[in-house]
Amino acid sequence: MRKGLRLFWLLLASIAVLSACGAKSQEDVTKGLQKKVVDLKGYKAKAQMTLTVGNEPQSYEIDVWHNKPGDYRVHLKNAKKEQSQMILRNKSGVYVLTPALNKSYRFQSEWPQNSSQAYLYESLVKDVQEDKEAKFKATKDHYVFTTKTRYQNSKMLPTQEIIFKKGSLEPVSVKVMDTNQNPVVTVEFSSVDFSPKFDKGAFDTKKNMTSAQLEIPVMSNNTDSEFTVKYSMADIPGISFEEETAYDTESGKRVLLTYSGEKSFTLIQEMAEVIPTTSMEMVEMNGEMVDLGFAIGAMTEDSITWSEDGINYVLLSSDLSADEMVMVAQSVQGGSIK
């Protein structure tokens, strides 16, 4: 009886040892992710991104294409608002397409290498690789990393939780969190194809503008159109809303919102000019490309400009830090409350 019991416990111990030997460490998984990125020739991914800023969460569909070494196509769509933007990187440069305005903006940018990108696989792996203090745990089906971010406003969004699927190592979800560990940006991947095929011209600027406009037609220029004024939802101590001023211009209404206190900033809003479909406008942008989540903007030392829903926005301040500028711009989509 004792001999049988002893054999039973030895068997259990052997199973435990074998299980431990089969479990991958954080270093093993990190090396596996790095090898996956090196071996990949490209990928296609679909995801849903949710921004929790302001009163109501805003959801966007993201369609990502990447073909090594440097071709990218990221299509950001919000069907409810009937808007879209597309980031293209090809041999000619980095472009942001706004189909509804028939405009293409060209940036002198190192995107996407210059910061974290929650919807790009190789960027997530780089975040894991570069954070030597990253936390790690393994569940039944997933590997979970908690890492620092490399965003322009990393002080406001310092950490993220990245989940990869065991076996395939494909991304499952990403949660980018604020200083209180509340998720501000959530990306949930619905499909990832690590063996994609791309048609000729898949990353061509004109071809992608044309195809995007089949989904979302070019808007009509209407100088009499009214628009809903949006206000900053950012909570920056010592700053409060001061004044709203509206002007009539040749292109329609222009609204200036002034915020003052220990620091100050001005937010300008007006109808965007739509380029006729007979031609496409190419705009050379000064400043660094900044990802606001719901739109792509251009950031200089004292301004951020972007377009959303046919409205141009300009944020001006000589007082705010770069992190605060991005936070204010991201909060404008939160709703029309002062």
Question: Range with the lowest mean pLDDT among 204-208, 228-232, 280-284?
Answer: 280-284
Q: What's the rounded Cα separation, in Å, for the pair 167 and 41?
A: 19
User: What is the pLDDT at residue 281?
Assistant: 72
Least trusted range by pLDDT, from 95-99, 137-141, 186-190:
95-99
What is the phi/psi pair of residue 42, to 5°? 165, 180
Specify the pLDDT at position 330.
86
| C-alpha distances in Å from residue 235, one per residue of 35, 62, 230 | 42, 28, 15
Segment 38-95, tens digit of pLDDT: 999 999 999 999 988 766 788 889 999 999 999 999 999 885 656 789 999 999 899 9
Most confident of 2-11, 72-81, 164-173: 164-173
pLDDT at 20: 46
| Interval 193-222 mean pLDDT | 85
pLDDT of residue 4: 54
The mean per-residue pLDDT over the stretch 176-201 comes to: 94
Residue 8 clears pLDDT 60, i.e. is over it: no
Is the pLDDT assigned to residue 224 strictly greater than 70?
no
State residue 5's pLDDT score: 55
* pLDDT averaged over every residue in the chain: 86
Instruction: Report d(CA 175, CA 156) in Å as an integer.
Output: 14
Locus of tokens 């029309």: 336
Please give the Cα distance from 65 to 62 (Å, whole number): 10
Alpha-carbon span 238 to 130, nearest angstrom: 36
The tally of CA atoms less than 13 A away on the side-chain side of residue 288 is 16
pLDDT tens per residue across span 232-275: 988 888 999 999 999 888 778 899 999 999 999 999 999 888 87
Q: How far apart are CA 66 and CA 336, in angstroms?
A: 37
The residue with tokens 């293209």 is 88
The answer to whether 269 and 230 have CB atoms below 8 angstroms apart is: yes
- How large is the average pLDDT for residues 108-124? 89
SS (HEC) of the chain? CHHHHHHHHHHHHHHHHHHHHHCCCHHHHHHHHHHHHHHCCEEEEEEEEEECCCCCCEEEEEEEEEECCCEEEEEEEECCCCEEEEEEEECCEEEEEEHHHCEEEEECCCCCCCCCCCCCHHHHHHHHHHCCCCEEEECCCEEEEEEECCCCCCCCCCEEEEEEECCCCCEEEEEEECCCCCEEEEEEEEEEECCCCCCCCCCCHHHHHHHHHHHCCCCCCCCCCCCCCCCCCCCCCCEEEEEEEEEEECCEEEEEEEEEECCCEEEEEEECCCCCCCCCEEEECCCEEEECCCCEEEECCCEEEEEECCEEEEEECCCCCHHHHHHHHHHHHHCCCC
User: What's the start-to-end Cα distance of the chain, in Å?
Assistant: 78
Judged against a pLDDT cut of 90, whether residue 334 lies above it is answered with: no
Residue-level pLDDT at 21: 47
If pLDDT is split at 50, 70 and 90, which confidence band does 278 have? low
Q: Quick one: which of 186, 177, 172 has its CA closest to 143?
A: 172
Over residues 183-201, mean pLDDT: 95
- Determine the pLDDT at residue 145: 97
* Average pLDDT rounded to a whole number, residues 208-219: 80
Q: Determine contact, residues 24/138, Cβ cutoff 8 Å.
A: yes
Between 290 and 281, residue with greater pLDDT = 290
**334 and 233 Cβ atoms separated by less than 8 Å:** yes
